[in-house]
Structure 1
Amino acid sequence: MTAPSCRPTLPVRDVDDLLYRAAAYLTCHGWTPKGLYKTHGRCFSICPEHGPFCYPASTLGAIRVAVFGHNVVRLDNISAEARHTYTAAVEWLNTYLLAVGYAGQHASVFDWETAPARTRVHAIGALQEAAFAYRRQAEQVAA
């Protein structure tokens, strides 16, 4: 019988890709620091300004688009596996922002994103840096 491995395991292999995709979504469609998506009026359908579900999003909204393939407001109709994937990406981003920080602030994702003077460039950069850190950690665990 061999001793169990004490090496840390990472919950989902695709977290880095999801965070990179979320950053790409913000690059293409814009960012909002509040809520999940920035809509206007009754815009949760096809509209000339946003097209089909292409709203500016918060980092969490962008991660939802990366995981689920479209805007998702409620998670009650999402499979357990998809919710796990989403949660893993959010947990990693939150841990990264608390432990490492970005743009001069160490805080939870909610506090970090709504800080004064936060910009879309900061949100995109934080997602990209968290993705890079996840990939680096995964490579170290695999070595």
Structure 2
Amino acid sequence: MKATQNPPTTASATPADLLRMAALYLRRHGWTQGSYYDIYEPADYPTPPACAAGAIGIACAGHRVEHFSHLDPDALADYLAALGVFVDYLDATAPVFFIDEDGYLLDEHTSPYSWNDDPARSAEQVITALEAAADEWDSLRTAGGETR
């Protein structure tokens, strides 16, 4: 590298950035329910319609991944952080509680998978929730990323 060249910089994406990328992906390529990607698209199709979690996976990896366990360690950490922010947002705004037949709480967190797959859910609701979760994450952080 010559002295006049600027060294490359790598800025890591925040969970909010990844959620916004996922929302943009859904706007551009479509949304689906019941699986990460539209099951009618071939496995090698690079930009299939996706569910919320599938779109977050694509935002983290930069390409289609069949399951989050297929992400490399850095992308997996980003995926889990972004999905966690999304779950926190859903818990606060659209809580879904699963109660067994004896009245016991089975799950205290909203599943982004079942939330996405609710038959009454629309693509616009998913996109809006991803963007709102990103906005909330940003509102709770300083410009440097620290918690306010």
Give me the TM-score of the superposition, normalised by structure 2. 0.73
Q: Which has the higher contact order (CA 8 A, sep 6+)?
A: 1
Deviations 1:42-90 (A, max 9, x none): x112xxxxxx411000000000110000110134453222111110001
**Matched length:** 122
Structure 1's unaligned 5+ residue stretches are 1-11, 46-51
Corresponding residue of 1:139: 142
Deviations 1:76-127 (A, max 9, x none): 45322211111000111011101223xxx55321221122221100110010
Percent of residue pairs identical: 31
Corresponding residue of 1:53: 46
Native 8 Å contact 2:69 2:76 kept in 1: no
The higher radius of gyration belongs to: 2
Give me the TM-score of the superposition, normalised by structure 1. 0.76
Native 8 Å contact 2:68 2:79 kept in 1: no
The answer to whether the aligner puts 1:123 opposite 2:129 as a matched pair is no
Corresponding residue of 1:16: 16
Native 8 Å contact 2:57 2:68 kept in 1: no
Q: Which runs of 4+ in 1 moved over 6 A?
A: none
Q: What is the root-mean-square deviation of aligned Cα atoms in Å?
A: 2.1
Corresponding residue of 1:37: 37
Structure 2's unaligned 5+ residue stretches are 1-11, 97-109
